[in-house]
Structure 1
Amino acid sequence: MPGTPAPPPGSPPGPAPSTADTIAARIERLPRWGLPRLAFVILGLAYFIDIYDVSIVGYTLTPMTEHFHLSTTAVTVMLTGNAIATAVGAFLFGSLGDILGRRRTYLIGMAALGLSALVCALAWDGPSLVVFRVLSGLATGGGLAVCTSYVQEFSPAHRRGRYVSITVLASSVGGLGAAQLSGWLVPLSASGWRWVYGIGALAFVLLLAARPGILPESPRWLAARGRDAETDAIVDAMEERLLRAGETLPQPEVEASEPAPPRFPVARLLKPPFLQRLLVVAAFWFGLQWAVRATLTLQPAILEKMGMSLREITSLTSVGQVLGIAGYLAMPLIIDRVERRTLIVCGLLIATGSTVVIAVGDGSFTSYLIASIMLHGFSPMIFVPGYSYAAEIFPTFARTTGASLAGGLGQVGGITQSLVLVSVIATADPRMSMLLIGAGYAFGALIIFLLAIPTTGRALSAINAAPGPATPATASAERRPSPELS
């Protein structure tokens, strides 16, 4: 049921809204998700497989090292190279998302994830394993930013955070699956780690499920490129689906107009206000990647050095991750009621505290149980609003590029920690290693607390409005206190 957006009451007459403005207004007035629910499952599985691939490294690093007699140098090259490739992949997939579209980039990303998992499982010697793990970083680099942007661009502002949180829920299941499957499969044989990697090849299944009728191209992206007929068909189908379900659709109203796509989108991101947003998110990801990559890949080795067995580590990690799933289930009720930056800062401070608990408790069973609950149980407060914020602060024409570029720059944190902490863990006191991991969480909290802008409940077009006379919606948002650099 196409509709012509009405101007806000009392506003002076102006030029007719563009197709992009009209499409944005029609999506924003939807009462809920307009695509089939199976789309949530398909996008959620992408989160599952991506996080699963990253998480299994920590549980398989020791058996892989022993299986191929990898040196400390080879391990450092593998971890550092993977982080570098992830940064490159983030920019690559982000750019593809804005050039080829969200849907096609998603399909390419899933094919790359499945292939990288398969070749890692089939590695025949140390050098081949190192090469395949480095290249796998390309696949995990930018896929999630494309998924997040996709969900946001089909969501009305009042439910945008809720729908992102539903898909991100699968990432906690991926982390839990990595811990459980590693704990079961790795001890079975010297090649048990191969089966752990091979499971990631299930990404190929998503290529068969992601049909255009279930996972169409983003209408906002299509409208920005003048593909009006395709755009109208997709939004018409969404509206008709909701009308058949008994929903009532109000008259669409244009809140604000985003900038028109420039010839070089990346160059536009290097100018205010998007440059400041890019740097803030990159700094946030730097701290988080430093801490998370070290937690996933190195913390099990630190805990083993403190006297814990792999089975104890995976079991206690799973306790926290089960509680984390409960946290993800609660996030849809919270995320659109509390400002994103508030949730992120609280989650990061709790994560920082978890590393302190392990250090003070000297890696005891009780200390890691408490720390696992703190870290994994409250991680939804970091990742759900974090993924959402990192994409919604950029305009449609460069949303996946901006989110992925910031994520790629943030991977410098993961690269740096692998260069620093691998050698530190080999020589330093494990308690100091844990505190160094926690420093990354604390840095990210400081950045978001000081510099993040408000986004909760605001339309994407209002967050990224083009310069010009403020509409009532954008004017009220601009009156809110904002720490963004001018």
Structure 2
Amino acid sequence: MTRGEFKIVVLSGLGWMFDAMDVLILSYLLVAMREELALDRAASTLIVLANNLGMFLGAFLFGRLADVVGRKKVFMATMLLYSIVTAASAAARSWQEFAAIRFLVGVGLGGELPVVATYVSENSPPERRGRNVVLLESFWSIGALLAAAVSLFIFTTLGWRTALVLMGATAFYVFVIRSALPESQRWLERIKEGASAELKPYAARLAIASAIWFLLAFGYYGAFIWLPTMLSTERGFTQVATYEFMFLTTIAQLPGYFSAAYLVERVGRRPIAAAYFVASALSAVLLIYSTSYAQLFYAALALNFFNLGVWGVVYAYTPELFPTSIRGLATGLAGSAARIGMIIGPTLYPLWASVAFIGVAVAWLIASALVVLLPETKGREV
């Protein structure tokens, strides 16, 4: 990795980390706010729905905007939006108010992810492009650890409202992006040359990619959003024990990403994505049928390892499937399909409890079959 690549991956990754922390803190907030905001299962579901609807809208709008005004400007705008609104959500006095504000948070969160993945992909050479995007995605696990740490150490001492105000300070990172990161060189070349492409010839490819994104998010958010709740209500964990379990098992995400980053450039996008999808499905089944704390713990470790690894591969793979002039739009549309999965997936647990994890596993098995229908892009120019 060159010095310039390293700078782009790390500085973009820190923005990705803040996004992940803000997305995943919601699952802990549902536990922390339960008594103060009188949350029942229906209210919690509506909060999750509002957040995910916002992410759906943000992925579509900001993905298209990034093709028009540039990747860097949209990166800054989305971070500024979700940071400010996160701090504002600390003032919510009812779950209805919190849900409305969380919708706006979701718009910013959903907009950043596909744009930043496209940005890093376009600023990486073919032989390291997949690895660099997976490494970018690995910052998600650091954000997940931060979310768990904030819940464990700040929720339990200073309270969840104080934590949200402190998280709003991520808005200042916009100044780092503005001064330290260049605009995407491929996007600038496309603007200079006036090159354009139609989305229609890529419709079938987009449909398959979108279906994979939908199934991936359907399973991930269907499982991880409710996992703390499942531990506390079905397994009898205390609030502190729940946060400790989540914190420790989340550590497995980092080696999951690093293994995918290593294999994606040596084996290829398709085989690694398919294998990690299958392993994720098996881990989800083992999780719900575990009969001891040790079995539960190791199943959660495996789920974190393989599922977050496949997220990295899919984020690296998708921008490579489309030309520059429609890359932001196509990646954003695939991201919007993921947000639909985010909306539908978390509704299973309130209906079926832990049996919903079987539906999660089936979704990931279908995704593993769809991956093989896409062309391999390892080492190719985009």
**TM-score range for the pair, normalised by the shorter chain length:** over 0.9
Q: CA deviation at 1:403?
A: 0.5
**Is there any run of 5+ residues in structure 2 with no aligned partner, and where?**
none
The one-letter code of the counterpart of 1:221 is: W
Aligned to 1:277: 205
**1:331 CA displacement:** 4.0
Query: Following the alignment from structure 1 to structure 2, what is the Cα–Cα distance between the partners of residues 172 and 156?
Result: 24
Tell me which residue corresponds to 2:236.
307
Report the alpha carbon displacement of residue 173 of structure 1 after superposing the two structures with TM: 0.5
> For residues 73 and 326 of structure 1, do their structure 2 counterparts lie closer, same or farther at Cα, with a shift above 3 Å needed?
closer
**Residue of structure 2 aligned with 1:112, choices 81, 89, 110:** 81
Residue 307 of structure 1: how far off its partner (Å): 2.2
**Residue number among 166, 175, 181 corresponding to 1:208 in the alignment:** 175
In structure 2, relative to structure 1, the CA distance for the partners of 1:334 and 1:453 (3 Å cut) is: same
The question of whether the paired residues in 1 share the 8 Å contact of 2:89 and 2:164 is answered with yes
Q: Which residue of 2 aligns with 1:320?
A: 249
1:206 maps to amino acid: Y
Match among 94, 100, 104 for residue 135 of structure 1: 104
Distance of 1:211 and 1:196 partners within structure 2: 26
Q: Supply the distance in 2 between the matched residues of 1:205 and 1:93 (Cα, whole angstroms).
A: 20
Choose which of 338, 341, 345 in structure 1 pairs with 2:267.
Answer: 338
The aligned residue for residue 91 of structure 1 is: 60
CA distance in 1, matches of 2:183, 2:321: 21
TM-score normalised by length of structure 2? 0.93
Q: Quick one: structure 1 residues 288 and 208, their matched pair in 2 at CA, closer, same or farther if it must change by over 3 Å? A: same
Partner of 2:216: 288
| Cα distance in structure 2, aligned partners of 1:227 and 1:121 | 47
Counterpart CA distance in 2 for 1:319 and 1:383 is 20
RMSD: 2.1
| Equivalent runs, 1:32-431 vs 2, <5 Å | 32-33=1-2, 35=4, 37-188=6-157, 192-212=159-179, 214-226=180-192, 260-262=195-197, 268-269=198-199, 271-272=200-201, 274-304=202-232, 305-362=234-291, 364-425=292-353, 430=354
CA drift at 1:84 = 1.6
Does the 8 A contact of 1:41 with 1:167 survive in 2? Answer: yes
Partners in 1 of 2:122 and 2:281 — Cα distance? 33
Aligned 8 A contact 1:61 1:297 in 2: no
Matched with 2:370 is: 447
Question: Percent of counterpart pairs with the same letter?
Answer: 27
The structure carrying a bigger helix percent of its residues is: 2
- Measure, in 2, the Cα distance between the counterparts of 1:400 and 1:196: 33
CA distance in structure 1 between the partners assigned to 2:256 and 2:345 by the alignment: 28
CA–CA distance in structure 1, aligned partners of residues 44 and 251 of structure 2: 30
- Cα gap change, 1:56 to 1:116, in 2 (>3 Å): same
Taking a change above 3 Å as real, the CA distance of residues 421 and 360 of structure 1, as seen in their structure-2 partners, is: closer
Letter in 1 for 2:183: E
Displacement of 1:227 in angstroms is 6.7
Deviation at 1:143, TM superposition (A): 0.8
CA shift in 2, pair 1:205/1:312, >3 Å: same
SS in 1 for 2:33: helix
Query: Is the contact made by 1:48 and 1:173 (CA closer than 8 Å) also made in structure 2?
Result: yes
Measure, in 2, the Cα distance between the counterparts of 1:198 and 1:281: 37
Give the match's secondary structure for 2:36: helix
Greater displacement, 98-107 / 137-146? 137-146
Aligned length: 381
Unaligned runs of 5+ in 1: 1-31, 229-259, 263-267, 461-486
Could you tell me how far 1:445 is from its partner in structure 2?
A: 1.9
Secondary structure of the structure 2 residue equivalent to 1:211: helix
Measure the CA separation in 1 of the matches of 2:137 and 2:325. Answer: 23
Output one character per residue of 1:148-207: Cα deviation in whole Å (capped at 9) or x when no partner.
111111111011112212222211111111112212222336xx2223433432321221
Deviations 1:386-425 (CA, angstroms, capped at 9, x unpaired): 1011111111001111001111023222212233432333
CA 1:297–1:196: 2 relative to 1, 3 Å: farther
Q: CA deviation at 1:385?
A: 1.1
Change (3 A) 1:331 1:356: closer
With the length of structure 1 as denominator, give the TM-score of the two structures: 0.74
Q: Which amino acid aligns with 2:170?
A: A
Give the distance between the partners of 2:220 and 2:240, measured in 1 at CA: 21
Tell me which amino acid in the other structure corresponds to 1:203: T
Aligned match of 1:249: none
